[in-house]
Structure 1
C-alpha cells in the first residue's frame, strides 16, 4: 500500500523531523512502543521524555526500555499538560496517542483541556521544522469531544508560524483514527 496507515504515517513524520542527539517527547507513553521508537531515533546522545499518568503505562514502558537496554529516556509519571516543566532544551518532536490505553482502564482517557494545554506549551519548545503528531482515537464519547476541541484549537494557530495537517482516510468508518500534525515554520 502506498498510502500509509496512521501509526506508520506518524512514524514517517517523526523520522523526517528527528535526528540523532535531539530531545523529543512521548506525551502518552502507554505500552512504550513509541517511546522505544523515539529512543532509537535520538540515539544514546539524545533524550526522550516519556509521560503517562497510569502506573501500568510507566511499568510497561520501563520494562520495554530495559529489555532493549535503552537509557536515554526519562519516564515520568505525570500529565502531559506539565511536560514543559521537565524540558531542559528545545525539542524536535512530540507524539500523542489520544484516547485510552488499549489494554488498560478504558474509563481513563486523555482530556481535551490537558491535551491542548500540553500542545500549546510544547509549541514554545519546538524547534523550527519540528513537529507535534497527534494520533486521535475518537471512537468513544470523550474522544469525540477531544477531536472537536483539538481541531478548533489547531485552526487558530497562525499559518505564518505553523503548518497544520489532518491526515485521514475518507472511506473508512466514521470513528477511524486520524492524525493532526503541527509543524513549526
Structure 2
C-alpha cells in the first residue's frame, strides 16, 4: 500500500480539523490544488483566503476552484507574509487550518520562489490566526535552488516553537535527502 505522500498527509491532517462553514488559508495558492481542497471542505458557508504574489497563480486557482463562482474563495494578490492584514476580524483566532506549499509555481519562472524571511513571518501570522486545535501544514522542497535554505529555516523555526504555543511534527522519507517533506503545527488548545 505504501505511505501517504507529503501532500496527502498534509490534506489528511487538515481534513481531520476542518468542517463546513470554517475559515481556512491557502498561504501559497500556486496551481489551486490546496485552495480547491479547502473550498470543498468548508463549503459555501465557509471562507478560503488564497494568497499568491503571482497573478498567474491566482488565475490558475480561480480556474481550478470553479471560476468566479467559487463561493468561499477569496483570492488575495499579496505575499503570504501579509496575510494578517487581509483576514477579516471575524476570522481572527478562528482559522481552522492554513496550508503552505512552498517553492515555486510549476510551469512558471523558477526564479520566483518563496523566501525564508517572508515564509517565517507568514508562519508566525498563521499560528496567531489559528483557533485552538487548528493546524498549519508546510510542504518544503529542499531540492531546488533556495529550497534547502528555506527548509532549514522553517525546520529551525518549528523546532524552537514553544510547546505552550503548539506542537510540531515532521513527516519525511528519511532515505531521500532532497525529497519534499512536511512540517505541521497544531495550536495548543486553551
**TM-score, normalising length: structure 1:** 0.95
Residue segments in structure 1 that go unaligned for 5+ positions in a row: none
Q: Shift of residue 147 of structure 1?
A: 0.9
- Kindly report which structure 2 residues correspond to 1:35-54, keeping only aligned pairs within 5 A, or say none: 35-54=35-54
Q: Shift of residue 103 of structure 1?
A: 1.3
| Whole-angstrom distance in 1 between the partners of 2:174 and 2:66 | 40
Aligned length: 184
Provide Cα deviations, 1:132-153, integer angstroms capped at 9, x if missing partner: 0000011123111101111111
User: Partner residue of 2:136?
Assistant: 132
| Whole-angstrom distance in 2 between the partners of 1:165 and 1:110 | 21
User: Partner residue of 2:78?
Assistant: 78
Provide Cα deviations, 1:143-179, integer angstroms capped at 9, x if missing partner: 11101111111112111221100000112x2210000
User: Partner residue of 2:180?
Assistant: 177
4+ aligned runs moved over 6 Å, structure 1: none
User: Partner residue of 2:11?
Assistant: 11
Q: Shift of residue 86 of structure 1?
A: 1.1
Report which stretch shifted further, 34-43 or 86-95.
Answer: 86-95
Report which stretch shifted further, 59-68 or 119-128.
Answer: 59-68
Does residue 110 in structure 1 map to residue 114 in structure 2? Answer: yes
| Whole-angstrom distance in 2 between the partners of 1:147 and 1:6 | 14
Alignment partner of 1:17: what SS?
coil
User: Partner residue of 1:20?
Assistant: 20
Contact 1:47 1:72 in 2 (8 A): yes
Aligned-residue RMSD, C-alpha? 1.3
